[in-house]
Amino acid sequence: MDTAAEVRIDAPHRELLDQILDKWSLAVLNDLCERPCRFNELRRAIPQVTQKSLTATLRRLERNGVVEREVVSTRPVAVRYRITDLGKTLRHPVDVLLAWTSQHMPAVERAREDFDEREAARL
């Protein structure tokens, strides 16, 4: 795969990454990649998220076109969230990212210990 070696990280790109890689978005996208989900279904799948944050995350993802919100007018209403075609294209970048964290987590943890140790010794 040839990737650009000299990519500009300007404000728009930075903002987009912030909105798609933020605290809860990855978890939401991951779940929606497997299957469409109801609101409370997502809440249960991501136990630590608050209702407020989940709502905000879903709105943001919807606004950016990677998630779709479908209201089923039963009563009480059912709301179904699903990934869009655009959202599916995020799968690869996200997987590459998570593969990196999985693979290098041990090295990172060693680095942290070393750093903290040196820091402690310095005092």
Partner DNA sequence: CGGAATCCTAAGAGATACTG
Partner DNA sequence: CAGTATCTCTTAGGATTCCG
Q: Give the residues lining the site for DNA (CB under 7 A).
A: 22-23, 38-41, 48-53, 55-56, 58, 69, 76-80
The item of DNA, its own copies, none sharing an interface with residue 53, based on CB under 5 to 8 Å by kind, is DNA
Give the number of other CB atoms < 10 A from CB of residue 53: 14
Chain CA centroid to CA 59, Å: 13
The item of its own copies, DNA, none sharing an interface with residue 51, based on CB under 5 to 8 Å by kind, is DNA
With a CB cutoff of 8 Å and minimum separation 6, the contacts of 51 are 43
The item of DNA, its own copies, none sharing an interface with residue 70, based on CB under 5 to 8 Å by kind, is none
Q: How far apart are CA 98 and CA 43, in angstroms?
A: 22
Give contact residues for its own copies (rule: CB under 8 A).
1, 3-5, 7, 9, 12-14, 16-18, 21, 23, 26-27, 30, 62-66, 86, 89-90, 92-93, 95-102, 104-105, 107-108, 110-112, 114-116
| DSSP helix/strand/coil, 80 | strand
